[in-house]
């Protein structure tokens, strides 16, 4: 994990000893992590990571991927097979009491996830499905139902990866292989596209004092040696001021 202060330019790195798919802030300090073997917590003071709940730890061919906390302080994150096998992954939810619930199965690459302000609608990406889907959510229990397609991404435009909602309720999604981030209006129409000088954007998140900075992570892993030479910024983190602003992130309450 990398921690960066844009104001001072200072950065720190923390070693989790295994792959990290997602992070979330904790209400009482530190970070929650979705690591290869399950859910863990990073203590900033000691730099140590402690595994709190195992998820598919008996399956070395799997790892956890993207995730986010909902407004009730629950941390949701999903899994995927290392060889990207169709339907091998699942979506899980870690509650504040550290109990783990398997919410959705048959997932290929569990990816971006976020909720509307009232917590009653969830947007979710299984990259293998090539779409952003919606679920109805029962806020108290976290149960999901009524899956339907919010927006479908044509293969020529890339594959949907990480996503985030802004303060207007619009959906921003990174397009892996598409060299862009899109903003979808609430009706599922494309509202705008931000082009990047790299092929593989992976996720986007709002930050800055006014939550008006959009940070975009990217990857270089999908590029050949010649591709890396053409895209020297691949794997970097980008920042832009798109106009719309984000929302404060929810924190894990456990």
Boundaries of every domain in the chain: 13-240
Strands (E), 30-139: 31-35, 38-42, 49-54, 62-69, 75-81, 89-94, 100-107, 110-115, 121-126, 131-137
Contact 76, 66 (CB under 8 A): no
Residue 47 to residue 3: CA distance in whole angstroms: 12
Q: At 227, which helix (H) or strand (E)?
A: helix 225-230
Active-site residue list = 161
Q: In this predicted structure, what is the pLDDT of residue 57?
A: 83
Residue 163 to residue 113: CA distance in whole angstroms: 6
> Which of 77, 74, 114 has its CA nearest to residue 254?
74
Sequential pLDDT tens for the chain (254 residues) = 999 999 999 999 999 999 999 999 999 999 999 999 999 999 999 999 999 999 998 899 999 999 999 999 999 999 999 999 999 999 999 999 999 999 999 999 999 999 999 999 999 999 999 999 999 999 999 999 999 999 999 999 999 999 999 999 999 999 999 999 999 999 999 999 999 999 999 999 999 999 999 999 999 998 999 999 999 999 999 999 999 999 999 999 98
What does CATH list as the number for 13-240?
2.120.10.30
pTM of the shown model: 0.96
Q: In this predicted structure, what is the pLDDT of residue 30?
A: 94
Angle at 131 between CA 157 and CA 230, to 5 degrees: 30
Query: 69 Cβ partners below 8 Å, 6+ apart?
Result: 24, 25, 32, 75, 76, 249, 250, 251, 252
């Amino acid at each position: 994990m990398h921690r960066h202060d844009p104001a001072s330019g200072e950065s720190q790195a923390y070693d989790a000893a295994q792959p990290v798919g997602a992070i979330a802030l904790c209400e009482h300090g530190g970070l929650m992590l979705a690591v290869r073997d399950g859910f863990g917590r990073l203590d900033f003071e000691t730099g140590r990571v402690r595994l709190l709940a195992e998820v598919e730890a008996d399956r070395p061919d799997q790892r956890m991927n993207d995730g986010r906390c909902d407004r009730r302080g629950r941390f949701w994150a999903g899994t995927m097979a290392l060889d990207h096998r169709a339907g091998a992954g699942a979506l899980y939810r870690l509650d504040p009491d550290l109990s783990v619930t398997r919410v959705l199965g048959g997932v290929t690459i569990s990816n971006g996830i976020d909720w509307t302000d009232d917590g009653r609608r969830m947007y979710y990406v299984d990259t293998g499905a090539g779409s952003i889907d919606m679920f109805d959510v029962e806020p108290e229990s976290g149960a999901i139902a009524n899956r339907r397609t919010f927006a479908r991404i044509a293969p020529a435009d890339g594959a949907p990866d990480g996503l985030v909602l802004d303060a207007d309720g619009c959906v921003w999604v990174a397009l892996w292989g598409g060299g862009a981030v899109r903003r979808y209006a609430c009706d599922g129409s494309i509202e705008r596209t931000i082009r990047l000088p790299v092929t593989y954007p992976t996720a986007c998140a709002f930050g800055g004092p006014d939550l008006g900075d959009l940070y975009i992570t990217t990857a270089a892993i999908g590029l050949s040696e010649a591709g890396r030479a053409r895209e020297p910024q691949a794997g970097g983190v980008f920042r832009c001021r798109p106009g719309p602003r984000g929302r404060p992130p929810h924190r894990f309450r456990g």
